Amino acid sequence: MHTLTLFNSLTRQLEPFQPVHDGEARVYTCGPTVYNYPHIGNMRAYVFADVLGRTLSYKGYKLTHVINITDVGHLTDDADAGEDKMEKMAAERAQSIWDIARHYTEAYWADIKALNIREPAKWSIATDYVPQMIDFAKSIADKHCYELDSGLYFDVSTVADYGRLARAVTEEGESRIETVEGKRNAADFAIWRKTPPGEKRQMEWDSPWGKGAPGWHLECSVMSGDLLGFPFDIHTGGIDHREIHHPNEIAQNQAFCCTNGLDLPANSGARVWMHNNFLVERSGKMSKSSGEFLRLQLLIDKGYHPLAYRMMCLQAHYRSELEFSWEGLGAALTRLKRMLMAAERLADVEAGEARHQKLAPMLDAFDKAMSEDLNTPVALTALEDVLSAKKVDPSAKRAVVELMDGVLGLRLFDMARADLRIRPKAAEISESEIEDVLARRKQARADKDFAASDALRDELAARGIEVMDGDPLGWEWKLG
């Protein structure tokens, strides 16, 4: 086996993975803010974290993965003057925050399942940790924070090397942040936001700094430290978090660890910080407000299986930007279908040992690819090489495919090809009607009644269904 090396955003280099606790891997992933549906760009962050987790398991580490759910504290912009996203949405919808949170958390979990993302050991819900957040803030307040009318602020000049994670020129990053009057440094951030006098928030708690709510950065420091123990191994998120959210978490972690006698060099809470690049639309960065809202359900409504999107993610390295297009998604679906067709031949084969002379180089190529900072595009080709290998003991082949698919998560053995064909929501005709016309057409062709066969094909075409005779992939129809 090759040594697992991962790109650490903190040191900006590839590093061999060295667990803090022998044989274990503890990973924290910043989860969604549940004020709206996640878009597929957000889901790329969780496909990446899932592949990381699966790779650590495959490498033999006992994985403890935590993903949080942010149901309080995330403001509408990076300025501390913004509104809480959850409060804002609840007000717009005239619903309680708890209902909003429940609805969108469930929608997010449905996407997690559809993308075959493994359940983490724990989903940590921010509002369950408010007392711990207050304790954390209390322990660092004297040395690292100051109070203003609007809240308790973290003074970034009290920790060494603030912002070393951020890539964007820090000055530029800071100037973007609207300054709250009285802040000592532009980059200082609220760790407790007081409810303004005379106002009542749906979510507020008593604290030594008055009634209010925790800051977003505080919650991730507290949940990751509480559940995984400082220092833990790997912290993940999208590259936007590398600029503000994670530098602020690191500053808090440094303050907490120093104050509480956790004497660790360059203490950042986690040893390795990993960031996935963005999924972008041709028009630029994806946003929930631009054009069609690209959420997983939209892909499904258009007839694309959700795992085609997983395939699309795997086809790119997680540190590369990935451009979304419907053609690209179609190509990923076709590729997945080819793999499933090859796997079908092994459907009744019992897995033997994942060892075979002919498959050894492919296994090695796969292991090397995943070990080199999760190079999934190359790993996919190794899997395809195994699927198409000739004159190989099927039980060994099955075992190797199972092993590789355990890392990539494409469900090659628990899905049938037919499952990939989803009738688009807009199609006027039901699946059983299509099947019925196709069966009649097959009979007409068997009877050499080509006029009838053509008429049936035209009937389907008129209803938006294109019949695909002789398609090597075995698709019998698609939406025209």
Using the minimum distance from each CB to ligand AMP, give the nearer residue, 27 or 422.
27
Restricted to residues 31-60, the positions that interact with ligand AMP (CB under 6 A) are: 32-33, 41-42, 44-45
Find the part of the chain contacting ligand AMP (CB under 6 A) among 17-25, 202-210, 232-240, 249-257: 232-240
DSSP-assigned letters across all residues of 223-244: HHHHHH-SSEEEEEEEGGGGTT
Find the part of the chain contacting Zn ion (CB under 5 A) among 204-212, 220-228, 298-306, 353-361: 220-228
3-state helix, strand, coil in the chain (%, to 5): 45, 15, 40
Nearest distance in Å: CB 212, ligand AMP: 21
Selected from 6, 25, 27, 30, the binder of Zn ion by CB under 5 A is 30
The 372-391 contact track toward ligand AMP, x by CB under 6 A, reads --------------------
Find the part of the chain contacting ligand AMP (CB under 6 A) among 1-9, 28-36, 128-136, 298-306: 28-36
Alpha helix ranges (H) inside 177-289: 216-228, 245-259
**Which residues lie closer than 8 Å to 331 by C-beta, 6 or more apart?**
none
Q: Which residue from 35, 45, 108 is spatially nearest to 73, judged by alpha carbons?
A: 35
Alpha helix ranges (H) inside 260-375: 296-301, 306-314, 326-344, 360-371
**Which residues lie closer than 8 Å to 448 by C-beta, 6 or more apart?**
none
Using the minimum distance from each CB to ligand AMP, give the nearer residue, 319 or 445.
319
Using the minimum distance from each CB to ligand AMP, give the nearer residue, 207 or 248.
248
Using the minimum distance from each CB to Zn ion, give the nearer residue, 277 or 297.
277
237 binds ligand AMP (CB under 6 A): yes
**H helix or E strand, kind and range, residue 379:** helix 376-388
115 binds ligand AMP (CB under 6 A): no
Q: Could you give the dihedral angle defined by the CA atoms of residues 255, 258, 261 and 266, in that order, rounded to the nearest 10 degrees?
A: 120
At position 261, the amino acid (one-letter code) is: G
Using the minimum distance from each CB to ligand AMP, give the nearer residue, 224 or 371.
224
Structure tokens at 247: 């530098």
**Binding site annotation covers 30?**
yes
Q: If contact means CB under 5 to 8 A according to the sort of partner, which of Zn ion, ligand AMP, none does residue 41 touch?
A: ligand AMP
61 binds ligand AMP (CB under 6 A): no
CA dihedral sign of residues 325, 327, 333, 335: negative
Using the minimum distance from each CB to ligand AMP, give the nearer residue, 4 or 47.
47
Find the part of the chain contacting ligand AMP (CB under 6 A) among 97-105, 271-279, 394-402, 405-413: 271-279
| Contact indicator for 78, 134 with CB cutoff of 8 Å | no
Using the minimum distance from each CB to ligand AMP, give the nearer residue, 45 or 404.
45
What is the spatial distance between Cα 409 and Cα 57, in angstroms, rounded to a whole number? Answer: 13
Nearest distance in Å: CB 235, Zn ion: 8
256 binds ligand AMP (CB under 6 A): no
| Contact indicator for 387, 343 with CB cutoff of 8 Å | yes
**Which residues lie closer than 8 Å to 265 by C-beta, 6 or more apart?**
none
**Which residues lie closer than 8 Å to 426 by C-beta, 6 or more apart?**
301, 302, 479
Nearest distance in Å: CB 292, ligand AMP: 14
Selected from 217, 241, 271, 305, the binder of ligand AMP by CB under 6 A is 241
218 binds Zn ion (CB under 5 A): no
Find the part of the chain contacting ligand AMP (CB under 6 A) among 29-37, 193-201, 290-298, 369-377: 29-37
CB atoms within 10 A of CB 433: 14
Q: If contact means CB under 5 to 8 A according to the sort of partner, which of Zn ion, ligand AMP, none does residue 220 touch?
A: Zn ion
Residues annotated within the binding site for Zn(2+) are 30, 220, 245, 249
Rule CB under 5 A: which residues touch Zn ion? 30, 220
Rule CB under 6 A: which residues touch ligand AMP? 30, 32-33, 41-42, 44-45, 237-238, 240-241, 276, 278-279, 286
